[in-house]
Structure 1
């Protein structure tokens, strides 16, 4: 569904008003080192699941990371030229789509065509051996995610990783029994050689947490008994922590101070379930009160950065809305690979509502997916040894790390959440999290790859689909085997309208979409070359059918009533086609398109001169449209 101009203007006006009223204030958010982080995760972000890198097979890590580097070395990661509010812009992130052969993914008026991943029973004849091996590695990761993402309880691999985390937690000083000063605590290294971050809670206690301890998949299931003494210890410690937190459920922020205030981490917010309209504050200082008041004055606004939502490339056209929810186990059919280098992204915007930091990808929902289907993401950071040192004040996982930020859509009462990602970590967005929440990507210090596996809604976006549509349209074309003369089998207006719509779909949703992205696909993979050649041949046959349709409309012997209906149907199809051709011509010759190298520059195809004898109709349909309009005037 396309947004109207009035709706766009109203949302921009509300967003400006929201930012003006916020001023220097920030809505609270919690990170792993903040008191109440785990409770917030459990109550408001339970659809988010984290899988630490240590719980994935080491061999899989090696193959996937080598594959990502191979794809980048081969130049497969490219910025897409997309359309936002009727103007062309480049995505800030470079990307490439892998997936099931013949599958496409459409967003922001751009259809991406998959480089097929190679299963065990498929020979990678469309790519060279190195690229084929890279595609197969991403397919193996996809298979792992398909079997893993639906596990609601911890499996053996989760438990193994959890035990390692439990050991790290229990080796640290107890919060309740800690009598050392803050200075001595900061100077004392943890067992794994890192420094623990210390924060003062509102009760005056010192709470030390390492961000890697906060693995949502490490929490013990209430439906399973402890599998070992360490599991029992984890359950006991976890229960104690939650017991300590129960009397302090309103204390989701860190201590009030100038630093925390400027970063959006406020105290005195009573936690409410997502969607609650009640708001309470306790012990607010003079700086916190304006934020509390804003919760009432802005409660009707959707806090959403529309510019980043669209430019992120994670959104999509609403041409083909999802009609069904995801049944049974997830079957990811595509992965959208992203490459982000903060050093090359000169205009990173600050996250405007919470003060979370620089955003590589703004707030958005992942769209054009099967309803309620999960999303699985693999994160790989290209570490720089010079940036390995970490300040003990910031916490080892939060300074310089890539992070994801999450917020509840249409809700300014629930604090936001940030989650640091170490290289090799994976996270899942399950249940209805992607529908009810928004997420962003917060830039770290090093370059980063991500592999985002999705169940794309492609009921009208596969090669099989469009080939079946071509067969449907061409079934109305008859060819005399002796003379080679062509004719239309049916002149019913509904039949004529149907194949003219297919004609436009093939030209504008497939041929021009494919060639708008230049020669990029043929450089990497030959898989799409023959199918697109066949689609173009079918489209030429449809041009012939339109010529026969025009001849039938202009034939004087037709009954007046049926002839008028046919002429109106033809005029609608031709007018739409003429407008779309001009739009695509403008996009192909835009100033931004001209900045691309020849192998990536858009190709205005199909295009032909009006006197081309091989084509039944001219490219410019203006004269034919005038003829049909004149005919209707005379009727």
Structure 2
């Protein structure tokens, strides 16, 4: 690595370390304040669940499985199983708290051709979804980039994406749609409660630091785009009018295989498939749409017979209760407690999404059970002001999480333009067939080096390490990445001092 590369690399690492240290400081202070106590959380069976949802989690909207168009469930679920059977769902190596770890969830990115998504220092390369009537990219032999089964699967995700794009807009106005309410009922958006004064100060300080960090990054890289979602209170002009999800992150996990899932540490919600987090690198205030599909349960034990027996015993208790008068209060209390425990166990058997107000230990958390085929939206600034986790159920589960990712530095078109910018400083003598630099100005050479580093560290290394795993399923990225490697080698020669001087002299 060259001296300037090292300087840029360590400067970026210092920013990342500073941000991580600040998060650790906040986490440590909250844990000290909390002590050994658990923060309360509410589920649908708990009193006050509805009021808590309306007051502190109004940006969450639930859509039952029945709202999807006829046949879409079958196509999407078949597509999810196709990806799993083909081996397209892979665990990613990510960076978490200075450690490289494999995700518990297996993933694949599907979306607009040429789009990528970056999270936890890992870049995913999208398998293109095939819009209706689109043939897709072909290789030099005229062969499509994907086979027909994978193409049909990706098209199903595009159809689901189209539904979400049209359905999420009314849900942004009708916030907090619950199972017991009509799909057209609106609820007023009210601010979250229970935020301590110190947490408010922390959030304001965090916003200030994020703003300063963004301005510093823009000045250093001259790219005009932050690597994290800016904390803005004003939505971009297009988001309020029309939502266009451009990628979906497909997830799969079987909790019976993953034996080392961590317990949720703050509320005691249960085993976590995905820990507490904000979704990264999204367009500010853009919504997130999630489709959840739980696989049929394996008949490991006689759970159904057990439940039937419980039901019969309850019926007998009811009969004796009606026949004989004056069942004692203790028995009624025990029966009520037993029913409540059974309800809690049923909820924990389901996959759930957990939500909490970020950096707040006073507002109760929310745990929302998800039936197979349910969808939910995170709208407004919920993803910015709150954190969410995924709580594992008893069955295996797929999800398709649709997002509006930042495209200013995340697409193939962007990085190809950057390569063209750098190579504009290279000229070829047609007579001598030699190449030389048009300008040796330090600013021009620095600009070329910045692009050279970005191509290498943000694209080529990420692709050759993790992205090309998908080449055996889809060849879409093969030719673009080969060309990018050629451009990188050209820039490497341009930045070689000896080569540059020789070329310049002809």
TM-score range, shorter chain: 0.7 to 0.9
Contact 2:293 2:374 in 1 (8 A): yes
Contact 2:423 2:491 in 1 (8 A): yes
Question: 2:123, 2:156 → 1: CA distance?
Answer: 24
Q: In the alignment, which residue of structure 2 is the partner of 1:198?
A: none
- Where 1:79 maps in the other structure, the secondary structure is strand
Residue pairs, 1:279-318, within 5 angstroms: none
- Aligned-partner Cα distance in 2 for 1:490–1:219: 63
- Structure 1 segments of 4 or more deviating over 6 A? 296-302
* Paired residues of 2:416 and 2:484 also in contact (CA < 8 A): yes
8 Å CA contact 1:38–1:214 kept in 2: the answer is: no
- Seen in structure 2, the aligned counterparts of structure 1 residues 102 and 39 have a Cα distance that, compared at 3 Å, is same
Q: CA deviation at 1:99?
A: 0.5
Counterpart selection for 1:65 from 46, 55, 77: 77
- Measured against aligned partners, the alpha-carbon deviations of 1:200-235 in whole angstroms (never above 9, x if no partner) come to xxxxxxxxxxxxx73566473489xxxxxxxxxxxx
Q: Residues 141, 518 of structure 1: CA spacing in aligned structure 2 closer, same or farther, 3 A cutoff?
A: closer
Residues 1:214 and 2:179 aligned together:
yes
Distance 1:275 1:79 in 2: 37
Report the CA distance shift for 1:40/1:217 in structure 2 as closer, same or farther (over 3 A). farther
Does residue 343 of structure 2 align to residue 378 of structure 1? no
Does the Cα contact within 8 Å between 1:470 and 1:502 map onto a contact in 2?
A: yes
2:165 aligns with: 146
Does the 8 Å CA contact 1:521/1:528 hold for their aligned counterparts? no
Report the CA distance shift for 1:491/1:14 in structure 2 as closer, same or farther (over 3 A): closer
Q: Superposition pairs for residues 257-336 of structure 1, below 5 Å?
A: 274=192, 276=194, 320-322=227-229, 325=236, 326-336=239-249
Distance 1:469 1:118 in 2: 27
Quote the offset at 1:49 in angstroms.
Answer: 0.4
The answer to whether residue 366 in structure 2 is matched with residue 417 in structure 1 is yes
Question: Which residue in the other structure is 1:498 paired with?
Answer: 447
* Structure 1: stretches of 5+ with no match in the other structure: 163-212, 224-271, 279-295, 303-317, 558-635
What TM-score results when the alignment is normalised by the length of structure 1?
A: 0.61
How far the C-alpha of 1:299 sits from its partner, in A, is 9.0
Give 1:426 deviation, angstroms.
Answer: 0.1
Match of 1:29 in 2: 41
What secondary structure is seen at the aligned counterpart in 2 of 1:376? Answer: strand
Q: Distance in 2 between matches of 1:22 and 1:506?
A: 45
For residues 363 and 81 of structure 1, what CA distance do their matches in structure 2 show?
18
- The structure-2 alpha-carbon separation of the partners of 1:478 and 1:130, relative to structure 1 and needing over 3 Å to count, comes to same
Cα distance in 1, alignment partners of residues 30 and 228 from structure 2: 30
CA change 1:502–1:300 in 2 (3 A) is: closer
For the pair 1:119 / 2:68, whether they are aligned, the reply is no
How many Å apart are 1:397 and its aligned residue? 5.4
SS at match of 1:150: helix
Q: Which of 227, 244, 264 is the equivalent residue of 1:351?
A: 264
Output one character per residue of 1:41-88: Cα deviation in whole Å (capped at 9) or x when no partner. 111111100000012123000000000000000001111112234432
**Residue 547, structure 1, aligned to residue 454, structure 2:** no
After TM superposition, the structure 1 = structure 2 runs for residues 184-583 of structure 1, keeping only pairs within 5 Å, are 214-215=179-180, 218=183, 220-221=185-186, 274=192, 276=194, 320-322=227-229, 325=236, 326-384=239-297, 386=299, 389=304, 392=339, 393-395=341-343, 398-517=347-466, 519-547=468-496, 551-552=500-501
Q: Deviations over 1:502-536 (max 9, x none)?
A: 11111221111100116412111000011111111
Question: Contact between 2:291 and 2:399, CA under 8 Å: does it hold in 1?
Answer: yes
Residues 99 and 335 of structure 1 are in contact (CA less than 8 Å); yes or no, is this contact kept in structure 2?
A: yes
Q: What value does the CA root-mean-square deviation take over the aligned residues? A: 3.1
In structure 2, relative to structure 1, the CA distance for the partners of 1:14 and 1:140 (3 Å cut) is closer
Q: Deviations over 1:87-109 (max 9, x none)?
A: 32111111000000000111222
1:38 aligns with 2:77: no
Structure 2: how far apart are the matches of 1:300 and 1:469? 40
Q: 3-state SS of the aligned residue for 1:343?
A: coil
**Does structure 2 conserve the Cα–Cα contact (< 8 Å) formed by 1:105 and 1:458?**
no
Q: Which residue of 2 aligns with 1:110?
A: 122
Structure 1 residue 137 corresponds to structure 2 residue 160:
no
Which ranges in structure 2 are unaligned for 5 or more consecutive residues? 1-11, 137-143, 204-224, 311-338
Helix, strand or coil: the match of 1:367? Answer: coil
SS in 1 for 2:281: coil
Tell me the distance in 1 between the aligned counterparts of 2:157 and 2:443.
45
Instruction: For 1:75 and 1:355, locate their aligned partners in 2 and report how far apart those are by CA, in whole Å.
Output: 34
Question: How big is each residue's C-alpha offset from its partner over 1:375-410, in whole Å with a ceiling of 9 and x where there is no partner?
Answer: 000000002153774685433851410001111113
- Larger radius of gyration between Structure 1 and Structure 2: 1
What SS does the aligned partner of 1:39 have? helix
Matched residues in 2 for 1:153 and 1:358: separation?
Answer: 30
For the residues of structure 1 that align with 2:410 and 2:464, how far apart are their CA atoms?
A: 16
Report deviation, 1:11.
Answer: 4.6
Superposition pairs for residues 154-169 of structure 1, below 5 Å?
none
| Structure 1 residue matching 2:71: 3-state secondary structure | helix
Change in CA separation of 1:111 and 1:221 when aligned onto 2, cut-off 3 Å: closer
2:124/2:467 contact within 8 Å kept: no
**Residues matched between the structures, number:** 421
1:618 maps to what in 2? none
Within 2, Cα distance between the matches of 1:123 and 1:139? Answer: 14
Structure-2 separation of matches of 1:527 and 1:536 = 16
Q: Please give the alpha-carbon distance, in whole angstroms, between the structure 2 residues aligned to 1:514 and 1:489.
A: 31
